[in-house]
Amino acid sequence: MVKVSEFVKFMDNIFKINYFTDIVKNGLVLSLDLQRRINRVGLAVDLTPFVLRKLIQKNFDFLILHHSPMHRGLERITPPKSNIIETVLNKKISIYVSHLPMDCHKKFGHSHILAKKLNLTESKPFPSKKEPFGVIGKFKSDLKKLENLLDSILSTKAKKILNSPTELKKLAIVSGAGGSLIDAAIEQGANLFITGEIKYSDFINSLENNISVWLYGHHNTELLGLFELSRHLKRKFDFEVVEVIECEIASQC
Ligand SMILES: [Fe+2]
């Protein structure tokens, strides 16, 4: 069985965590014992109460998160956050975070996976070379086919802002909360924007710029990379369990 320290090295090597300037700390963020052997690995978008219960019920000893459990910073560790962290430490569960490094990863980035599944042509990462967490490209078939494919890949129906474009030029994909990239997508010729959620001001921006936006949920659009990573870990290690744990609000957000 692999030790926490060895597994962290393996993960750091995949995600190149020091390369990115992120709003949260990536890499190993919580562990009591780096020499502890790992056998049961969970993957989740967030450490919600339901995910925590599952970790305990199924005796997981390592959790890979997309969103940091300390997403608001480390200045106050008080209840209920301190209760969650206390439970994690008592159960000797180590937590590893891959946020932006996962988003930007060609193999494990949610948007990149979705673009591949849609077989986008002329696809390219955007908005920048250093942090390409979105993908822009062309879809070779009609809009109905695109919608059916997305509904099936993401197991839900989109909430649509503005009618679908009559003629699809380019589409941009940004998993999670992608509203800040709507302008960049327009600049690069997209008239359809696919993301998880947007803010009210982004909603107004999309109306002003006449770009259609399809929302498939923040949590929902950020499971793809976790499933891909879980398959990779199963191939690379002989863990007893590797499992993606969907949170209790998965179908609503
Ligand atoms: Fe996210």
**pLDDT top residue among 73 and 56:** 56
Return the CATH number of 110-215, one of 3.30.1490.120, 3.40.1390.30, 3.40.50.80, 3.40.50.300.
3.40.1390.30
- Dist. CA 196 → ligand 1 center (Å): 9
Per-residue pLDDT reduced to its tens digit, 167-201:
899 999 999 999 999 999 999 999 999 999 999 99
Q: Which is the CATH superfamily of the domain at 4-98+223-244?
A: NIF3 (NGG1p interacting factor 3)-like (3.40.1390.30)
The domains of the chain are located at: 4-98+223-244, 110-215
**pLDDT on residue 75:** 67
- Dist. CA 16 → ligand 1 center (Å): 18
Per-residue pLDDT reduced to its tens digit, 224-242:
999 999 999 999 999 999 9
- Dist. CA 18 → ligand 1 center (Å): 19
**pLDDT on residue 239:** 97
Residue 80 pLDDT exceeds 90: no
Residue 71 pLDDT exceeds 80: no
Burial class (CB in 10 A: 0-12, 13-18, 19+), 76: exposed
Average pLDDT score, the chain: 93
* 27/56 Cα distance (integer angstroms): 22
Torsion sign across C-alpha atoms 232, 233, 239, 240:
negative
pTM of the predicted model as reported, rounded to 2 decimal places: 0.94
**DSSP one-letter string for 46-78:** S--HHHHHHHHHTT--EEEESS-TTTT-SS---
- Dist. CA 148 → ligand 1 center (Å): 24
**pLDDT on residue 189:** 94
pLDDT confidence tier of residue 249, bands split at 50, 70 and 90: confident
- Dist. CA 35 → ligand 1 center (Å): 30
- Dist. CA 48 → ligand 1 center (Å): 14
Q: Which amino acid is at 225?
A: G
**pLDDT top residue among 190 and 76:** 190
Distances in Å between the alpha carbon of 145 and those of 141, 165, 172, 175, 215? Answer: 7, 14, 16, 20, 17
pLDDT confidence tier of residue 252, bands split at 50, 70 and 90: low
- Dist. CA 219 → ligand 1 center (Å): 7
Tell me if 4-98+223-244 shares its fold with 110-215: yes
- 3-state secondary structure at position 223: coil
Nearest CA to 102 out of 176, 179, 172, 41 is that of 176
- Dist. CA 103 → ligand 1 center (Å): 8
- Dist. CA 100 → ligand 1 center (Å): 9
**pLDDT on residue 129:** 77
- Dist. CA 166 → ligand 1 center (Å): 30
- Dist. CA 64 → ligand 1 center (Å): 14
Nearest CA to 229 out of 138, 115, 105 is that of 105
**pLDDT on residue 125:** 92
Largest CA distance in the chain: 58
Per-residue pLDDT reduced to its tens digit, 126-139:
997 778 999 999 99
- Dist. CA 178 → ligand 1 center (Å): 9
Comparing 12-21, 76-85, 109-118, 185-194, the range with the smallest average pLDDT is 76-85
